[in-house]
């Protein structure tokens, strides 16, 4: 009798575990229209928070993500750090704080979505904007331009990351948590500097990304001319007032960076921002701009370990975010 009972309990446990595994790998359809992002046919109002995996340690990730979830966050947003992952051409490192797969899987384990901002140029107050130093020595290269050497290495790295995510089944189209991906970053700020080489680069980057066939939408922040079907999004403190809106009536309004404070440089005081002022801007973005997705940048800033910070940046990054440098509320 005891053996039969144990067998039944074990069999039941196996069935339950199989059901959970099936549920976790069910493909999710992510689309959009002019009103919102749509996940499996349901319109979504999503609140997101930026947590950068290399600015904390792997043992901190579960707690950081859990606290963000408790705070009402639906999505965890992160950049991808090219110079960490490809320190030498063709030599990749995804160990320790660089283990982006483990980070994304921890997001999934806690039932949240993810937004992967590949860049590969990220700014992020990170050394060299995330570019690996060896890129500087490539003959004839002109960064972030309609330049064949640059496009070759940019496409290589972007493809590497997308294929890595695909191999682990991490896109929503595969049953994973990633519902959005970003290509390039705030390029419009610099586009005029590249003259006639700027607009073709934007079109190429968008086409290259879309053709990687992730099954989820792509975005470009601060890029009013983001080519279809890539969604242009807003970064800043006051997107409820300043965002010009999507560049197509068929795209939703997305706020990829609602700055919770501001980065701090040596010799300057920390920039404080009240929760009330933030909430007011969020309300404006929803009411005036038909906002469907708001990301708090940063939700946890963390630590610039080693020499990873950009010039003049202090070790602490966005310490006045909802979670401080050490992950405390």
pLDDT for the residue 23 = 42
Q: How many residues does the chain have?
A: 329
Number of neighbouring beta carbons within 10 Å of residue 186: 17
**Cβ 51 vs Cβ 78: under 8 Å:** yes
Secondary structure class of 83 (helix, strand, coil): helix
| pLDDT tens profile 304-316 | 999 999 999 999 9
Question: Which residues touch 316 (CB under 8 Å, ≥6 apart)?
Answer: 264, 301, 303, 304, 325
Q: If we measure between CA atoms, which residue out of 75, 79, 73, 71 comes closest to residue 53?
A: 79
| pLDDT tens profile 103-144 | 999 999 999 999 999 999 999 999 999 999 999 999 999 999
Confidence band, pLDDT 50/70/90 cuts, at residue 236: very high
Name the DSSP letter for residue 227: P
19, pLDDT greater than 50: no
Mean pLDDT of 47-56: 98
Helices (H) and strands (E) counted in the chain, each on its own, are 8, 11
Secondary structure class of 53 (helix, strand, coil): helix
290, pLDDT greater than 90: yes
DSSP bridge partners of 300: 51, 323
Phi, psi (rounded to 5 degrees) for 269: -75, 155
Question: Which residues touch 135 (CB under 8 Å, ≥6 apart)?
Answer: 141, 143, 150, 153
Query: What is the C-alpha to C-alpha distance for residues 35 and 289, in angstroms, rounded to an integer?
Result: 10
Query: What is the C-alpha to C-alpha distance for residues 313 and 265, in angstroms, rounded to an integer?
Result: 5
Residues annotated as part of the active site: 186, 257
Is this prediction's pTM over 0.85?
yes
Name the DSSP letter for residue 261: S
* Buried b or exposed e, range 187-214, using 16+ CB within 10 angstroms: bbeebeebeeebeebbeebbeebbebeb
Secondary structure element (H or E) that encloses residue 294, with its range: strand 291-300
Question: Which residues touch 56 (CB under 8 Å, ≥6 apart)?
Answer: 64, 97, 300, 302, 303, 327
**Cβ 293 vs Cβ 302: under 8 Å:** no
| pLDDT tens profile 163-187 | 999 999 999 999 999 999 999 999 9
CATH number of 30-300: 3.20.20.80
Query: What is the C-alpha to C-alpha distance for residues 270 and 142, in angstroms, rounded to an integer?
Result: 35
20, pLDDT greater than 50: no
270, pLDDT greater than 50: yes
Helix axes 61-70, 100-109, angle to 10 degrees: 40
Least confident of 194-203, 261-270, 297-306: 261-270
Confidence band, pLDDT 50/70/90 cuts, at residue 78: very high
215, pLDDT greater than 70: yes
| Residue whose entry in the numeric block shows the structure tokens 């896109």 | 171
Q: If we measure between CA atoms, which residue out of 147, 125, 105 comes closest to residue 311?
A: 125
Secondary structure class of 211 (helix, strand, coil): coil
Residue 251, both tokens: 């795209």
Residue 231, both tokens: 């969604």
pLDDT for the residue 8 = 53
């Amino acid at each position: 009798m005891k053996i039969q009972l144990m067998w039944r309990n074990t069999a039941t446990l196996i069935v339950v575990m199989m059901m959970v595994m099936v549920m976790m790998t069910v493909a999710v359809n992510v689309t959009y229209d002019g009103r919102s992002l749509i996940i499996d046919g349901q319109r979504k109002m999503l609140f997101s928070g930026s947590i950068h995996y290399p600015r904390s340690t792997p043992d901190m990730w579960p707690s950081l993500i859990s606290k963000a979830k408790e705070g009402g966050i639906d999505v965890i947003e992160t950049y991808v750090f090219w110079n960490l992952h490809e320190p030498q051409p063709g030599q990749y490192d995804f160990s320790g704080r660089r283990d982006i797969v483990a980070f994304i899987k921890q997001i999934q384990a806690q039932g949240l979505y993810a937004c992967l901002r590949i860049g590969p140029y990220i700014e992020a107050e990170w050394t060299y904007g995330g570019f690996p130093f060896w890129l500087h020595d490539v003959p004839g290269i002109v960064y972030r331009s309609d330049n064949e050497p640059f496009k070759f290495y940019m496409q290589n790295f972007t493809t590497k990351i997308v294929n890595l995510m695909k191999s682990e089944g991490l896109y929503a189209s595969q049953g994973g948590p990633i519902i959005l991906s970003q290509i390039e970053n705030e390029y419009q700020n610099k586009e005029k500097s590249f003259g006639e080489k700027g607009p073709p680069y934007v079109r190429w980057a968008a086409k290259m990304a879309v053709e990687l066939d992730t099954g989820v939408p792509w975005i470009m922040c601060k890029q009013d001319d983001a080519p279809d079907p890539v969604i242009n999004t807003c970064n800043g403190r006051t997107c409820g007032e300043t965002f010009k809106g999507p560049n197509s009536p068929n795209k939703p309004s997305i706020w990829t960076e609602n700055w919770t404070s501001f980065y701090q440089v040596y010799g300057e005081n920390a920039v404080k921002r009240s929760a009330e002022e933030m909430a007011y801007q969020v309300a404006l973005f929803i009411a005036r701009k038909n906002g469907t997705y708001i990301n708090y940048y940063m939700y946890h800033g963390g630590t610039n370990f080693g020499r990873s910070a950009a010039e003049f940046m202090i070790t602490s990054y966005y310490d006045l975010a909802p979670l401080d440098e050490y992950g405390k509320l």
